[in-house]
Amino acid sequence: MEILANYPLKKLNSFGMDVSAHRFARFSSADELQALLRHRREQGEAALPLLVLGGGSNLLFRENFSGWVLKNEIGGVEELHEDADFVYVRAGAGENWHGFVQYCIGRGWGGLENLSLIPGNVGASPMQNIGAYGVEIKDLFWDLRALHIESGRVETFTVGDCHFGYRESVFKTKLRNQYVILDVTYCLRKKPVLHTSYGAIHQELEAAGIGQPTIRDVADAVIRIRQSKLPDPAVIGNAGSFFKNPTVPLAQFNSLQQQHPGIVGYPLPGDKVKLAAGWLIEAAGWKGYRKGDAGVHPRQALVLVNYGHATGADIFDLSEQIVQSIRSAFNVELEREVNII
């Protein structure tokens, strides 16, 4: 285990921010992580900030990181057991998410196909209950193992323990910065149940002339849709949706709809409506905006991009201007989805 000083993080965050970490190390097992945490305490640095990095695809560094960055590289995919309908598959937190999804599809295990091509690693999937095209991981989640940083104990969390919500879990709220996710077990279907009603998937399958899709067909459709709208972080720095889709009371939605007939909203239980933030940001004129190297993606207004040399502060300032503009145009509060470091 090597502990490095002033380590460059540019290649380890999908926004491509050119920042460094005071200390940096990689771990590929719970034992290695425990050894690193011990070492950090022995050096008297336990009070410094700690960041456990996965794929680096959902964060924005605003400055150099003055603490310890530990990169989670716990790998491995293991079939734990199966019954007539389900197979229980455990994946190391450091496995690439898309690679894991493809592996499952290759074996005919259904459930994750709508979540193809989401950047990042397996460990982040429960952290923010990743979702796309009508499916969220909470629908397939079985349990996870996580190391409690303070005590070093490894604990198991079932779906009830995780308090999943829209892009939320207990690891982002009550237990924030207290646990490191080691591996995640998913419960996948041997007889897949497809979710193709999401408009874009339906159209994509129809255009390809596919009447009776397989999980592979659905995954391919999702991949094509994502590639057509979302910038590839390997080419243009970004962290996917920068904001969450905000929820407003039905009454507010109705009055917004009178002023803006095209507004996009999805009804939720309890007289609430989830608004498409991409629509709001586009309607406020930001789509395709660029100042220096910080911009709003021209094909998906919910995605902020770094065209090369934008700083974290440039991207954050742009996000702040967007928040204010949406507040004054629609009286709606946007919340950032990306973790600001």
Residues labelled as active-site residues: 167, 241, 337
**Min CB(262)–ligand EPU separation in Å:** 8
Task: Identify each DSSP E strand in 134-178 by its residue range.
Answer: 135-136, 141-148, 154-158
CB of 30 to ligand EPU, least distance (A): 28
The residues pairing with 261 across neighbouring beta strands, listed in sequence order, are none
- Longest Cα pair distance anywhere in the chain, in angstroms? 63
Write down the least CB distance from residue 130 to ligand EPU, Å: 7
Q: Where are the beta strands (DSSP E) in the chain?
A: 4-8, 20-27, 50-53, 59-60, 65-72, 77-82, 86-92, 131-132, 135-136, 141-148, 154-158, 179-189, 237-241, 247-249, 265-268, 272-275, 290-291, 294-296, 303-306, 339-340
Find the shortest distance in angstroms from Cβ 264 to ligand EPU: 4
Cα dihedral across residues 295, 298, 302, 303: positive or negative: negative
Nearest approach, Cβ of residue 286 and ligand EPU (Å): 9
Nearer to ligand EPU (CB atom), residue 39 or residue 290? 290
Give the integer Cα–Cα distance in Å for 142 and 13. Answer: 28
| Host H or E run for residue 166 | none
| Shortest Å, Cβ 141 to ligand EPU | 17
Please report how many Cα atoms fall inside a 13 Å half-sphere around the Cα of residue 176, on the Cβ side: 7
Q: Pick the closer one to ligand EPU by CB: 36 or 281.
A: 281
In the sheet that holds 4-8, the strands lie side by side as 4-8, 20-27, 65-72, 50-53
Output the CA torsion 221→225→227→231 (10° steps). Answer: -150
Q: How far is it, in rounded angstroms, from Cα 330 to Cα 246? A: 12
Write out the residues near ligand EPU by the rule CB under 6 A: 132-133, 240-241, 244-245, 264, 276, 278-279, 282, 287, 300-302, 337
CA distances from 70 to 28, 40, 53, 267 (A): 10, 11, 6, 41
Tokens representing residue 19 in the block = 């920042």
* First-to-final CA distance of the chain: 25
User: Which one, 79 or 266, has the nearer CB to ligand EPU?
Assistant: 266
